[in-house]
């Protein structure tokens, strides 16, 4: 996304005056004006990638102008996803292929996993590589890792953050999960925060669990938005402190019906309300849709369709300070325009992005160009040899008290003290308990623990798809865990599930161990098969992918396995440090 230069401005002005021919004219439609919240019969004139004119006249209609007849259709600004995770098994271009036909033309996305693997300079090159995509990718950086990392200050270095926050397509901080670092005034975090504010960048929060004094302190520090409110009181508290609130409906949080009551019952001003899908799994994205579905749901809950459109367009654009570029159908903005038959079910018939028709009737027009992954430094995880011995936890005596991870919901755990038997100097897992381990991204350290309540019917599971980077493994025996981890490394990253007497399941993610080159639909099929197998093995929560993904997340309660060790979130204490892996 760039501002027009002098020649482009001159061309827009001449086209608006009728002195130069337009490239595209859309006639006969009803424009959803998100500024006045009204429907206006108007023609739209496009020159290059921007809108030159909106109104009742037809300036710039030339012999080669493409005319799009929109009688009976509404012209809606392209949808904006204000809090995206474009690296979630799918890669950003596969994500774009799924989003564009549904009307999302701009996303503000999480850059953490790319930065962790590529560094700030590599991420800058990646951002440039995304410029060829008709979906506009903008980014936020995290001030810290979502899991305790041995190389934390290297992954989220202040120098790297400064470099990225100076980039015009990086709009600020985001997903600041360890908000207590701000409340406790950790100097390194405050330095990053102050630099962001000095650059007029947004500090987008993740304030789950904050309330009262702590939430007020975060607002005082500059946090200006949050997507973690799950009910009306939480949303109101954030609004009253001056924050924008993104109403979320995701693969594991279905709060949109409840949060819509802010509007339908409380009658709040909606100018600071946004809509977000957060991070949909491939199956959710393929089967349920994206922002178009969220709009339909809030409208069904009683929200005025024009208000709902504002929440998906001008509101997020204003929040991220890009409303001079996107978020409305008005002169000077990018020509991101949706032709919609029914505002109550806003699936677009035609999608224009930057003045080009990119989708019709739910199908992409043509194919997006491919990124050169190798040139960008994105490839498979390096192969590693793993010995079963790294999963053994030595102990003395015949039994020991040990803090065990008890899975209690899709992404929540509890700390459960259990007395575990010791045999031959090693703690063993009794019936209903399995070993768990987290190997760091360098393959140098391993954190060990035990887990219960996941899926008792598996032999082992290993995944490079989790917040802690590296490879996470769960299993009944060290040998089975080593075999699952070896499968992940052989694939260059991904998920491996081993079941007694059954074929192994593999889902390759050979791009940094986090992404696949495959389309969303193919990944959705793989996810659904994994879900089926996990449920057959005893998993009984909502989303096994996200249960595994967040087992290493140090910001979530209670007990977590992180690359630095077994961590108690409530005590903010590492109970058992990771140890060096020796060959």
pLDDT digits (tens, 9 = 90+) for 482-499: 999 999 999 999 999 999
Angle (deg, nearest 10), helices 305-312 and 291-300: 150
User: Average pLDDT of the chain?
Assistant: 96
Is the confidence at residue 582, as pLDDT, over 90? Answer: no
CA distances for 148 relative to 145, 251, 463, 496, 562, angstroms: 7, 25, 18, 24, 6
Q: Could you report the per-residue pLDDT of 297-355, keeping only the tens digit for each?
A: 999 999 999 999 999 999 999 999 999 999 999 999 999 999 999 999 999 999 999 99
**pTM of the full predicted structure?**
0.96
Q: Could you report the per-residue pLDDT of 526-569, keeping only the tens digit for each?
A: 999 999 999 999 999 999 999 999 999 999 999 999 999 999 99
SS3 167: coil
Q: Could you report the per-residue pLDDT of 251-306, keeping only the tens digit for each?
A: 888 999 999 999 999 999 999 999 999 989 999 999 999 999 999 999 999 999 99
Is the confidence at residue 130, as pLDDT, over 70? Answer: yes
Q: Using an 8 Å Cβ cutoff, are 355 and 335 in contact?
A: yes
CA distances for 158 relative to 89, 143, 188, 538, angstroms: 28, 8, 8, 44
**DSSP H helices in 510-571:** 520-536, 544-549
SS3 102: helix
Looking at residue 457, its pLDDT comes to 97
CA 56/CA 21 separation, integer angstroms: 17
Looking at residue 289, its pLDDT comes to 93
Q: Could you report the per-residue pLDDT of 60-92, keeping only the tens digit for each?
A: 999 999 999 999 999 999 999 999 999 989 999
* Residue 347, token pair as written in the block: 């699936």
Nearest to 307 by CA among 498, 560, 34: 34
* Residue 424, token pair as written in the block: 């031959």
Instruction: Say if residue 256 is exposed, middle or buried (CB neighbours under 10 Å; 0-12, 13-18, 19+).
Output: buried
Residue matched to tokens 């043509």 = 366
Domain 78-323 class in CATH = alpha beta
- Reported as type and span, the H/E element at residue 53 is strand 50-55
Alpha-carbon Rg of the chain, whole angstroms? 25
* Residue 392, token pair as written in the block: 């053994």
Q: Could you report the per-residue pLDDT of 179-212, keeping only the tens digit for each?
A: 989 999 999 999 999 999 999 999 999 999 999 9
At residue 452, φ and ψ (nearest 5 deg) are: -140, 155
* Residue 248, token pair as written in the block: 């979320």
Tell me the mean pLDDT in the region 8-17: 98
Residue matched to tokens 């791009």 = 511
CA 365/CA 100 separation, integer angstroms: 10
CA 357/CA 352 separation, integer angstroms: 4
CA 474/CA 455 separation, integer angstroms: 10
CA 465/CA 491 separation, integer angstroms: 13
Is the confidence at residue 583, as pLDDT, over 80? Answer: no
Looking at residue 153, its pLDDT comes to 80
CA 315/CA 313 separation, integer angstroms: 6
Q: Using an 8 Å Cβ cutoff, are 40 and 76 in contact?
A: no
Instruction: Say if residue 72 is exposed, middle or buried (CB neighbours under 10 Å; 0-12, 13-18, 19+).
Output: exposed
At residue 470, φ and ψ (nearest 5 deg) are: 60, -150
Residue matched to tokens 């005590």 = 571
Instruction: Say if residue 136 is exposed, middle or buried (CB neighbours under 10 Å; 0-12, 13-18, 19+).
Output: buried
- Domain residues of the chain, as ranges? 78-323, 388-580
* Residue 450, token pair as written in the block: 């035990």
Looking at residue 369, its pLDDT comes to 86
CA 196/CA 286 separation, integer angstroms: 35
CA distances for 434 relative to 411, 474, 543, 546, 560, angstroms: 18, 7, 19, 19, 14
Tell me the mean pLDDT in the region 454-477: 97
Query: β-strand 460-463 against 471-475: which pairing, if any?
Result: antiparallel
Strand stretches in 371-488, DSSP E:
399-407, 413-423, 426-427, 433-439, 445-452, 460-463, 471-475
Find the farthest-apart pair of alpha carbons in the chain and give their distance in angstroms, rounded: 90
| DSSP-assigned beta bridge partners for residue 415 | 405
With a pLDDT cut of 90, the percent of the chain lying above it is 94
């Amino acid at each position: 996304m760039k501002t027009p230069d002098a020649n482009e401005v001159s061309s827009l002005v001449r086209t608006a005056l009728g002195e130069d021919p337009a490239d595209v004219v859309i006639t006969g439609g009803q424009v959803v004006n998100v500024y006045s919240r009204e429907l206006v019969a108007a023609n739209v004139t496009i020159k290059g990638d921007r809108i030159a004119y909106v109104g009742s006249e037809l300036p710039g209609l030339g012999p080669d102008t493409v005319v799009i007849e929109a009688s009976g259709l509404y012209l809606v600004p392209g949808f904006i996803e204000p809090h995206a995770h474009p690296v979630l098994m799918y890669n950003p271009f596969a994500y774009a292929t799924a989003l564009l036909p549904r009307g999302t033309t701009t996303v503000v996305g999480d850059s953490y996993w790319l930065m962790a693997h590529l560094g700030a300079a590599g991420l800058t090159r990646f951002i440039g590589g995304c410029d060829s995509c008709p979906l506009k990718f903008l980014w936020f950086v995290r001030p810290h890792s979502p899991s305790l990392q041995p190389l934390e200050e290297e992954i989220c270095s202040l120098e790297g953050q400064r470099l990225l926050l100076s980039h015009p397509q990086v709009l600020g901080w985001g997903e600041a999960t360890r908000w207590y670092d701000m409340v406790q005034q950790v100097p390194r975090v405050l330095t990053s925060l102050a630099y962001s504010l000095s650059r007029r960048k947004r500090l987008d929060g993740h304030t789950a669990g904050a309330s009262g004094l702590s939430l007020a302190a975060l607002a005082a520090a500059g946090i200006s938005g949050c997507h973690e409110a799950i009910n009306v009181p939480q949303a109101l508290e954030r609004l009253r402190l001056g924050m924008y609130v993104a109403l979320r409906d995701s693969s594991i949080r279905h709060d949109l019906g409840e949060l819509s009551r802010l509007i339908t019952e409380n009658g709040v001003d909606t100018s600071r309300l946004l809509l977000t899908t957060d991070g949909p799994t491939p199956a959710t994205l393929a089967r349920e849709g994206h922002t178009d579905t969220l709009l339909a749901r809030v409208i069904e809950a009683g929200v005025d369709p024009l208000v709902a459109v504002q929440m998906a367009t001008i509101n997020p654009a204003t929040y991220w300070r890009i409303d001079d570029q996107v978020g409305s159908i008005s002169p000077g903005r990018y020509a991101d325009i949706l032709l919609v038959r029914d505002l109550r079910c806003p699936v677009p018939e035609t999608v224009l992005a930057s003045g080009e028709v990119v989708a019709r009737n739910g199908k992409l027009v043509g194919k997006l160009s491919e990124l050169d992954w190798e040139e960008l430094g994105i490839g498979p995880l390096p192969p590693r040899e793993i010995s079963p011995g790294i999963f053994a936890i030595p102990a003395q005596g015949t039994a020991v008290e040990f803090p065990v991870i008890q899975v209690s919901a899709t992404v929540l755990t509890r700390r459960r003290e259990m007395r575990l038997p010791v045999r031959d100097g090693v703690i063993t897992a009794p019936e209903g308990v399995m070993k768990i381990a987290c190997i760091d991204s360098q393959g140098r350290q391993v954190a060990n623990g035990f887990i219960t309540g996941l899926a008792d019917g598996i032999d082992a599971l290993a995944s490079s798809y989790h917040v802690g980077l590296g490879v996470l493994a769960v299993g009944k025996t060290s040998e089975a865990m080593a075999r699952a981890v070896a499968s992940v490394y052989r694939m260059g990253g991904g998920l491996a599930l081993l079941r007694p007497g059954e074929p192994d399941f593999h889902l390759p993610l050979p791009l940094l161990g986090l992404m696949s080159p495959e389309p969303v639909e193919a990944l959705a099929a793989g996810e659904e098969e994994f879900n089926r197998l996990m449920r057959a093995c005893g998993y009984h929560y909502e989303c096994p992918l996200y249960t595994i993904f967040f087992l290493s997340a140090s910001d979530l309660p209670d007990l977590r396995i992180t690359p630095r060790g077994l961590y108690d979130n409530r005590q903010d204490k590492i109970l058992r440090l990771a140890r060096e892996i020796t060959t």
